[in-house]
Amino acid sequence: MGTDGSIDWLCLPRFDSASTFGALLGTDDHGRWLVAPAASVADDGAGVSSSRRYVDDTFTLVTRWVTPTGEVDVIDVMPHGDRRADVIRRVVGVSGSVDMLQELRIRFDYGAAMPWIRQMPDAGGHAIVAVAGPDALVVRGPELTASDHAHVGEFTVTAGETVDITLTWFPAHRAAPAPLNVGSRIRETEKWWKSWASATTTAAKYSDAVRRSLLVLRALSHEDTGGIVAAATTSLPEEFGGSRNWDYRYVWLRDASLTLHVLLDHGFEGEADPWRRWLLRAIAGDPGDVQIMYGLSGERRLTETVIEGMPGYNGAAPVRVGNAAFTQYQGDVFGEVMLALERARETGGEERDFSWPLQRALMGFVEENWQRPDNGIWEIRGPQRHFTHSRVMLWAAFDCAIRAVRDFGLDGPVERWEEMRALVADEIETQGFDPVRGTYTQYYGGTSVDASLLQLVQTGYIAADDPRMLGTVAAIEADLLEDGLLLRYRTESGVDGLPEGENPFLACSFWLVEQYASSGRLADATALMDRLVGFCNDVGLLSEEYDVAGARQAGNTPQAFSHLSLVRAADAISKASAAGE
């Protein structure tokens, strides 16, 4: 929701459903829901201001409006726990008297379906029902009337007065759900979030950013299926006006594995089992059919299409739905999955009957395919290559499997895995390391570097202060630092088969913080971390990239990769600080 009181992006009933409100990627006519003081949209909002905050460790969003006639809070909540798709907008008078405006433009299917809307009798109040194809909404609250393909209404709130508005999605072939008990649902939802967040403690430094990031990671987890999406949006541009606009509302094995790892590190052991069950369902069958990403329920076909009727964020087209990367082979995901499942094992998670057989099956595929070139962590749409990061992650997969046998007593061909781990390591050192420059390279036979090489330390492949790693860091600083932030790689090299140009990738800069902290450069780590945390928006959220020149976030948001990397970076600084003391 924007600071103007308008919900411009909402997909119901799931993250990856078609949008109900899509103005974020188009115009108001692609759907939005405004609840704001009438004065904020008249005369350019002169004399009206707003500020936003989340209530403690929750996602109850409070927007405080200050107007010439009074103050009012708009409290937005998506209730938790009842398996419904509801949005609550509670308006509370704080002082004086404020005339409020509600404007509702419902457009299902990414703005393509204008619904049939009718008034519905509703237990002493007002309600409208909107229907188009399989989708339906019921909106309850102050009276709305039709106007210019929208439904609008005005109401006045005085000090101490409360006005509730609710929106509920339901399948169009069913009857509208019963009204909510708004007060109790808000209280129950806040209680649940606070209880969940209470399971962890964080170091004093960056604690607010870390706690909010952990909450974001949990919020990106689908309650029913256990799938963890990479972001809540599609097609927000990585470069404004460019074509690098992708749909991130799906479950990447990599991002979900890294998210699980971070949650486990911070005491959330309960998150491991739902994700492991999701993983089994998603990749059930032949390990050779493993994809890098799936839908929230494990859907395999994520065909990428362009929504021609949407002009994109500030005109940045195309708007994409689906993601063609689901067809790619990325060898690194096997290492990330094995590392996450190993962390679950280390934190005391029960090794269920299917869990280790699943990992054995994955390792069987790795044994047969470890020499294959791939598309790499960045989903390169150019030629497949032997990306050094992918090779190290395959090394990590063998490493995890070996420890499962040696340290936890599980069964497996450990001697063969040890031989293959040594083979992979020898190949990396002879083909993925440039002895002249003293750096690991982006891919075998190349000379350029890649920010993903910073993850070599995170896998345990090499120590942070190893001369080879320090040489790699020096090359990354020389080649990829731009305005003090880190690019993923040089897009002008043509390696990804796309037009050049993108903004610095926030997760990469957090990796650099982690590397600095782990290699004795604590002052550098803290300086960069302070700057990165300052990029969080007013409610602590981060997108994928940051546009330094425009002083604005870029790419899809909120981005799991950015937030999980923030947590890791803060942990590294805390560990280094404690060691120094």
Mean pLDDT of 431-458: 96
Please give the residue that has the higher pLDDT: either 455 or 2.
455
List the single range of 272-286, 409-423, 489-503 with lowest mean pLDDT: 489-503
Q: What is the C-alpha to C-alpha distance for residues 130 and 126, in angstroms, rounded to an integer?
A: 14
558 pLDDT higher than 80: yes
Mean pLDDT of 548-561: 95
Q: What is the C-alpha to C-alpha distance for residues 473 and 439, in angstroms, rounded to an integer?
A: 8
Report the 10 Å Cβ neighbour count for 154.
Answer: 13
Mean pLDDT of 33-47: 88
122 pLDDT higher than 90: no
Query: Which residues are CB-neighbours of 430 under 8 A, at least 6 positions away?
Result: none
499 pLDDT higher than 70: no
Per-residue model confidence (pLDDT) at position 429: 98
Percent of the chain past pLDDT 90, that is, above it, reads 77
pLDDT digits (tens, 9 = 90+) for 348-360: 767 767 788 889 9
Entry pTM: 0.95
Report the 10 Å Cβ neighbour count for 174.
Answer: 8
Mean pLDDT of 407-435: 97
124 pLDDT higher than 80: no
> Would you give the distance in Å from CA 546 to the centre of its chain?
15
Query: Which residues are CB-neighbours of 556 under 8 A, at least 6 positions away?
Result: 230, 231, 232, 233, 234, 235, 236, 246, 248, 543, 544
Per-residue model confidence (pLDDT) at position 379: 86
Helix or strand holding residue 279 (H, E): helix 272-283
Query: Which residues are CB-neighbours of 386 under 8 A, at least 6 positions away?
Result: 373, 374, 431, 432, 443, 444, 445
Q: What is the DSSP letter of 199?
A: T
Q: What is the C-alpha to C-alpha distance for residues 416 and 364, in angstroms, rounded to an integer?
A: 11
Report the 10 Å Cβ neighbour count for 513.
Answer: 29
Q: How far apart are the first and last CA of the chain?
A: 43
Q: What is the C-alpha to C-alpha distance for residues 436 and 468, in angstroms, rounded to an integer?
A: 11
Is residue 68 helix, strand or coil?
Answer: coil
Q: Would you put residue 279 in left (φ > 0), alpha (ψ -120 to 50) or beta? A: alpha
Instruction: Kindly provide the b/e burial profile for residues 79-104, where b requires at least 16 CB atoms within 10 angstroms of the residue's own CB.
Output: bbeeeebbbbbbbbbbeeebbbbbbb
Helix or strand holding residue 10 (H, E): strand 10-11
Q: What is the C-alpha to C-alpha distance for residues 403 and 364, in angstroms, rounded to an integer?
A: 16
pLDDT digits (tens, 9 = 90+) for 298-334: 999 999 999 998 999 998 899 999 999 999 999 999 9
Per-residue model confidence (pLDDT) at position 85: 95
Q: Which two tokens stand for residue 110?
A: 């990414």
C-beta separation of 428 from 468 below 8 A:
no
Distances in whole angstroms, Cα of residue 164 to Cα of each of 9, 76, 89, 137? 21, 10, 6, 16
Per-residue model confidence (pLDDT) at position 493: 67
pLDDT digits (tens, 9 = 90+) for 449-486: 999 999 999 999 999 999 999 999 999 999 999 999 99
Query: Which residues are CB-neighbours of 161 under 8 A, at least 6 positions away?
Result: 92, 93
Per-residue model confidence (pLDDT) at position 498: 67
Q: What is the C-alpha to C-alpha distance for residues 278 and 526, in angstroms, rounded to an integer?
A: 37
Bridge partner list, 10: 21
Q: List the domains of the chain with CATH numbers.
A: 6-177 (2.70.98.10), 206-580 (1.50.10.10)
